[in-house]
Amino acid sequence: MSEKPSLREWKFVAPEIVFGAGCLARAGRFAANLGMERALVVTDAGIEAAGWTDRVCKSLAEAGVGVTVYDQVTPNPRDYEVMRGAEIFREHGCDGIVAVGGGSPMDCAKGIGLVAESGRHVLQFEGVDQVEAPSPPLLCVPTTAGSSADVSQFAIILDTARDVKIAIVSKAVVPDVALVDPETTTTMDPGLTVNTGLDALTHAMEAYASSAHQPLADHLALEAVRLAAANLERARDCPGDMIARENMMLGSMYAGLAFSNAILGAVHAMAHALGGLLDLPHGLCNAILLDHVVAANFASAPGRYMALGRAMGAAIPAHAPPQEARESLLTTLRDFKRRLGALVTLGELGVTRDHLPALARAAAADPCLATNPRPLGIGDIAAIYEQAL
């Protein structure tokens, strides 16, 4: 279904990106080029155990960049983890940050940079364009094919007092350099491969359906959907298959660039609320909610959802009736989730109807909801959660 050309203005932001197997070995050179003399390396215990942190630290040392490692980052990074990281940054005289890991270390690193530069609490940056000064240089080495924090202007931090995930959205948290090395994803277990891959798929689908969609993001989002649909099962089943790993890493990067510029929608708003209240894995929350939100949104952007369905491999004719196209897309999505073992319900994760009012209120306040293709009130959001129980 064709669309009329838009005359509205748009922009696109991205870091410097180096993509390819083995490129993490360039970390030292790029950190030195950014003027770092001592880097705070933000990571977690799992990435350290896999050996990726040591390899990055070795590269930094070989380039003459001093290293202080901060590895006290948990999934869904907490506000106090950010604040402690900023203390260590200052105590050790660091002048730059290198994040090694998935979305949690990278988001934590972004928050540390904001706090270290400003002296403010990380939660004071909640919202869109609340950052007034640049952060210290930031280099990211992603180790999952899903979060795309290495290329985005988002940082998601858990406010532990309110049990709510806050979103910080600003060009100031776009990393200076992303070293996107597909080899780092070979140590992910099958479950993490699936959850992060479905996170990337959700990024791409929400960016394409977003009310803030724009031409460059559109191209990247559709290609990301194609890559995820064609490669995620292979990456899960054959973890050493570098073609599948490279395609998933490329798809994740494309999806990240797309959503960083076109923003997201109700899936992410609702997933952030779930992760904040119940400390659930973000990628899994997205996977559970994706088809339910697509069903609710379809009528508001049928042409866009038809294009997404075709990118996933659904046989949707050019002039298919909208209801037929909707069912074809939903069937394709649910079959894909079934093959990946991701047909989990919220109830199986411990969510009950008693949780729904608080979850719906938190999701309604999330900035990602602003670009959902249709307006959703608290009652609408609660109904979608209930369908996913």
Is 47 within the bounds of a domain? yes
Q: Does one domain contain both 82 and 118?
A: yes
Residue 99 lies in a domain: yes
Residues 328, 214 share a domain? yes
Domain stop point among 147, 162, 185: 185
What is the arithmetic mean of pLDDT over 349-369?
Answer: 95
Shared-domain flag, residues 216 and 83: no
**Residue 4: pLDDT above 90?**
no
- Whether residues 139 and 231 share a domain: the answer is no
Cα separation, 231 vs 311, in Å, equals 13
For residue 357, give the CATH number of its domain: 1.20.1090.10
Residue 52 belongs to domain spanning: 16-185
Q: What is the average per-residue pLDDT within 203-224? A: 97
Q: Given pLDDT bands bounded at 50, 70 and 90, which one contains residue 1?
A: very low
Same domain, 24 and 99: yes
Task: Note the pLDDT of residue 318.
Answer: 87
- Both 304 and 255 in one domain: the answer is yes
Name the pLDDT band for 281 (thresholds 50, 70, 90). confident
Residue 347 covered by a domain: yes
Q: Is residue 312 part of a domain?
A: yes
Q: Are residues 335 and 255 in the same domain?
A: yes
Number of domains in the chain: 2
> Of 185, 206, 221, at which residue does a domain stop?
185
User: Which of 185, 200, 235 is the last residue in one of the domains?
Assistant: 185
pLDDT at 88 over 50: yes
Same domain? For 181 and 192 the reply is no
Instruction: Verify that 219 and 181 share a domain, yes or no.
Output: no
Q: Are residues 202 and 93 in the same domain?
A: no
Residue-wise pLDDT tens digits, 335-348: 999 999 999 999 99
pTM of the model: 0.96
Convert the pLDDT of each residue in 215-247 to its tens digit. Answer: 999 999 999 999 999 999 999 999 999 999 999
Length of the chain: 389
In a domain, 271, yes or no: yes
Please tell me whether residues 86 and 59 are part of one structural domain: yes
Q: Which amino acid is at 144?
A: T
The answer to the question of residue 8 being in a domain is: no
Look at residue 180 and tell me whether its pLDDT is greater than 90: yes
Residue 11 lies in a domain: no
Pairing assessment for the beta strands 154-159 and 164-169 based on DSSP bridges: antiparallel
Residue 5 lies in a domain: no
Mean pLDDT estimate for the chain: 95
CATH number for position 115: 3.40.50.1970
Answer yes or no: do 210 and 160 share one domain.
no
- CA 269-274-276 angle, 5° bins: 95
